[in-house]
């Protein structure tokens, strides 16, 4: 029977109660909460997360702007109605004019030639819509990667809780053995005290691991827009997912699929349209217009007693305007637009270089994590065997208690190292797919 001092017994009971309550809450949550694996978590985030909603509104706004620019190709129909009151009647062409004048006109104006500004403006708005669509694709990629990363961090935290609980169980068992040895005079009081200290340390580690896990759950709930009071559980394991893509293939995919690179190219095309719009100032502006007008001394504008026959008329015509000199304003505007285009081209070239670096570094991180998994698996096997031998030697009085504690600490560290390497491998894989511009919710190789 384990005998502890009152303070240590109360501390152990408190830690056990916290862990038990945590396990009960988890079991109850599992029973009535909706379960999300990695793919379902990503799917819900894409459906509910507000960043995607905001991107969708931006895309709709861009589409409306494109339609507005398209309307510039058609004629503009307008009407005007007015009233004037004269203090004294006037003469015009020897005829007396009404002192009350109501006028109504309808005009139709069609742009014939505007130096290609109308066409370039529409093409620019269409490109801006495509640019916004690429921005939405980038937002989706970033959200997918964020959800995947936090999902694996949650699984890692869950494994750390299990490891901390196992460590505490082992140390409590060792404390029981040490106390039994002490009672029969086979171990010193120092071993009992050291065992109690290590149990307390393990209790603290378990509490921290449990809090970290609950924090990770809260973060994932936020990304999935799940209310804090709504139970949700996440299923899955840190199972190794292979990746066999070569650097050249990854780069080719990234250059074709990366939304930010597509956005950079669209920005260059938009800047080219800005050059065309600025250059339109060098050309004449030609418009065709038709107008019908009527007037009278009553609100229904159907003539008056002084002008009963010629109260309405229509006109058609073409007008042209050409600004011949503006002190270099148009020229410098064109040059500024050209320099903006060159700047965007340089930024796009730099982005390609950054993408090449990102792909290379992500593949290196993935390779490193896979190698660490193999090393950690071997280290865990050795740590388990070392712990078993240390316990056996201590129980046979062939070893010292410090060897057991040291082996126990190394076993816990080996478990944590393996869990960390497994999580890092999956997170690195998520970053590889994101760097290539590919949406892969479950991270398994596409068929």
pLDDT tens figures, 293-322: 988 878 878 777 666 656 788 899 998 888
Cβ atoms of 419 and 381 closer than 8 Å: no
> Which of 47-56, 226-235, 357-366, 404-413 is the least confident region?
226-235
312 vs 12, more confident? 312
Query: What's the rounded mean pLDDT across residues 274-297?
Result: 88
pLDDT band, residue 23 (cuts 50/70/90): low
Supply the pLDDT for residue 1. Answer: 34
Query: What's the rounded mean pLDDT across residues 203-225?
Result: 94
Domain residue spans of the chain: 6-73+116-282+328-436, 75-113+285-321
Is 271 a residue whose pLDDT tops 50?
yes
Q: Which residue, 39, 64, 82, 117, is CA-closest to 281?
A: 117
Q: What is the CATH number of domain 75-113+285-321?
A: 2.20.200
Q: What is the CATH number of domain 6-73+116-282+328-436?
A: 1.20.1600.10
The CB-based long-range contact list for 383-390 (8 Å cut-off, 24+ gap) reads 383/407, 383/410, 383/411, 383/413, 383/414, 383/415, 384/411, 384/414, 386/410, 386/411, 387/170, 387/411
Is 396 a residue whose pLDDT tops 50?
yes
Supply the pLDDT for residue 21. Answer: 53
- pLDDT averaged over the chain? 86
> Which of 53-62, 224-233, 285-294 is the least confident region?
224-233
The first and second tokens of residue 189, run together, are: 């009081």
Integer Cα distance of 137 and 133 in angstroms: 6
Give how far Cα 138 sits from Cα of 16, 49, 231, 356, Å.
Answer: 46, 14, 30, 17
Is 106 a residue whose pLDDT tops 60?
yes
Is 5 a residue whose pLDDT tops 60?
no
Integer Cα distance of 313 and 391 in angstroms: 112
> Which of 202-206, 226-230, 286-290 is the least confident region?
226-230
pLDDT band, residue 19 (cuts 50/70/90): low
pLDDT tens figures, 122-132: 888 999 999 99
pLDDT tens figures, 65-97: 998 888 888 899 999 999 888 766 655 555 556
């Amino acid at each position: 029977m384990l005998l502890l001092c009152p303070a240590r017994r109360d501390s152990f009971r408190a830690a056990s109660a916290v862990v038990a309550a945590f396990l009960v809450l988890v079991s109850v949550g599992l029973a009535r909460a909706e379960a999300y694996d990695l793919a379902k978590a990503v799917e819900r985030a894409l459906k509910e997360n507000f960043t995607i909603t905001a991107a969708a509104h931006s895309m709709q706004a861009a589409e409306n702007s494109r339609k507005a620019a398209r309307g510039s190709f058609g004629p503009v129909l307008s009407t005007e109605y007015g009233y004037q009151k004269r203090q004294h009647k006037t003469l015009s062409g020897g005829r007396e004019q009404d002192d009350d004048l109501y006028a109504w006109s309808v005009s139709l104006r069609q742009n014939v030639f505007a130096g290609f500004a109308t066409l370039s403006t529409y093409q620019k708005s269409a490109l801006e819509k495509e640019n916004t669509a690429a921005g939405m694709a980038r937002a989706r990629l970033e959200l997918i990667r964020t959800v995947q990363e936090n999902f694996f961090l949650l699984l890692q935290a869950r494994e750390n809780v299990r490891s901390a609980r196992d460590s505490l169980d082992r140390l409590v068992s060792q404390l029981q053995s040490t106390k039994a040895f002490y009672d029969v005079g086979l171990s010193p009081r120092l071993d009992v005290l050291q065992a109690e200290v290590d149990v307390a340390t393990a209790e603290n580690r378990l509490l921290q691991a449990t809090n970290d896990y609950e924090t990770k759950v809260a973060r994932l709930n936020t990304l999935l827009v799940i209310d804090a009071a709504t139970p949700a559980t996440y299923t899955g394991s840190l199972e190794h997912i292979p990746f066999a893509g070569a650097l050249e293939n990854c780069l080719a995919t990234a250059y074709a699929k990366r939304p930010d690179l597509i956005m950079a190219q669209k920005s260059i095309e938009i800047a080219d349209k800005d050059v065309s719009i600025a250059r339109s100032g060098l050309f004449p502006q030609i418009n065709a217009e038709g107008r019908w007008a009527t007037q009278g001394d009553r609100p229904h504008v159907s003539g008056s007693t002084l002008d009963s026959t010629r109260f309405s008329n229509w006109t058609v015509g073409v007008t042209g305007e050409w600004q011949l000199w503006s002190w270099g304003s148009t020229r410098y505007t064109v040059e500024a637009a050209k320099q903006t285009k060159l700047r965007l081209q340089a930024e796009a070239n730099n982005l390609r270089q950054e993408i090449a670096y990102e792909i290379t570094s992500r593949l290196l991180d993935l390779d490193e994590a896979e190698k660490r998994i193999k090393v950690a698996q071997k280290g865990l096997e050795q740590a388990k065997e070392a712990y078993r031998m240390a316990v056996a030697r201590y129980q046979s009085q062939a070893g010292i208690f410090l060897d057991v504690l040291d082996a126990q600490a190394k076993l816990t560290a080996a478990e944590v190292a393996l869990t960390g390497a497994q999580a890092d491998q999956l997170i690195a894989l998520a970053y590889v797919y994101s760097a290539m511009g590919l949406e892969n919710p479950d991270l398994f190789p596409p068929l």
